[in-house]
């Protein structure tokens, strides 16, 4: 007898099963997610600094466009530890949350567009609200006229304390709506890039832990860099 291939519904179940297995393999260990997030945060910090200065309208002493660009990206890099740490936990949490959410939605029969879009929408919104005080304080530190970074050992904490004393704790979350408008699309794109690489990278043997970690690291790094570039 002639063997017939699986029907469309069965094929869809097979694809969901394979995707779920891949997600489970990459989500067991959070190390590659956070390592990749830290790597992309470090690599893109000068670009983040230049973008922050430009968008905030901070005054620069240079006049020419190239000189202003160099002044924006060159050291001193104020609040580096806070920025890298904040971006690392935020991206890592969003990637992990998106993987877990996608796995749950696919397991309940949702198609790939919903499973790839809804989890990063929800997780990135939550993380951005939680991270906003850190975003606000580190942004203020990039102002060349800011004297706190030059006189305090822990400038990020000092900025937060100053905001609390002068304007109340609600000042920590000022600008959250604008941050959400920039952050949520960024991570939707980042997760889309990660999912795209998931389909195109060669599979890793489950028994080869380092191969699994390296594969996840590649996806998370590409997603982090893409998310940063898309919003610059």
Query: What string of pLDDT tens digits covers the 232 residues of the chain?
Result: 433 444 445 545 544 554 444 444 444 467 776 877 788 788 888 888 888 888 888 888 888 888 888 988 888 788 888 888 988 888 888 888 888 888 888 888 888 788 888 888 899 899 999 999 998 999 898 888 888 877 788 889 999 999 999 999 999 999 898 888 878 888 888 888 877 887 788 887 877 778 877 887 787 777 767 776 766 5
pLDDT at 109: 86
Distance CA 38, CA 118 (A): 24
Distance CA 71, CA 46 (A): 10
> What is the set of domains in the chain, with CATH numbers?
30-230 (1.50.40.10)
Collapsed DSSP state (helix, strand, coil) of residue 43: helix
pLDDT at 4: 46
What do you get for the CA distance between the two ends of the chain, in Å?
Answer: 59
pLDDT at 154: 86
């Amino acid at each position: 007898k002639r063997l017939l291939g699986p029907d469309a519904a069965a094929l869809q179940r097979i694809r969901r099963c394979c995707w779920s297995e891949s997600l489970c393999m990459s989500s067991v260990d959070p190390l590659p997610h956070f390592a990749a997030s830290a790597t992309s945060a470090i690599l893109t910090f000068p670009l983040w600094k230049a973008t922050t200065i430009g968008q905030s309208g901070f005054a620069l002493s240079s006049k020419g466009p190239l000189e202003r660009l160099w002044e924006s990206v060159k050291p001193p890099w104020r609040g580096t530890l806070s920025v890298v740490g904040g971006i690392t936990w935020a991206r890592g949490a969003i990637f992990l949350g998106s993987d877990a959410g996608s796995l749950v939605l696919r397991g309940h029969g949702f198609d790939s567009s919903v499973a790839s879009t809804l989890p990063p929408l929800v997780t990135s919104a939550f993380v951005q609200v939680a991270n906003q005080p850190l975003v606000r304080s580190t942004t203020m530190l990039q102002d060349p006229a800011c004297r706190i970074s030059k006189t305090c050992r822990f400038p990020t904490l000092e900025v937060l304390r100053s905001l609390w004393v002068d304007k109340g704790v609600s000042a920590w979350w000022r600008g959250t709506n604008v941050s959400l408008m920039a952050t949520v699309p960024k991570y939707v794109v980042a997760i889309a890039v990660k999912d795209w690489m998931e389909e195109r990278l060669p599979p890793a043997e489950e028994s080869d832990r380092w191969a699994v970690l390296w594969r996840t690291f590649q996806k998370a790094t590409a997603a982090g860099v893409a998310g940063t570039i898309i919003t610059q």
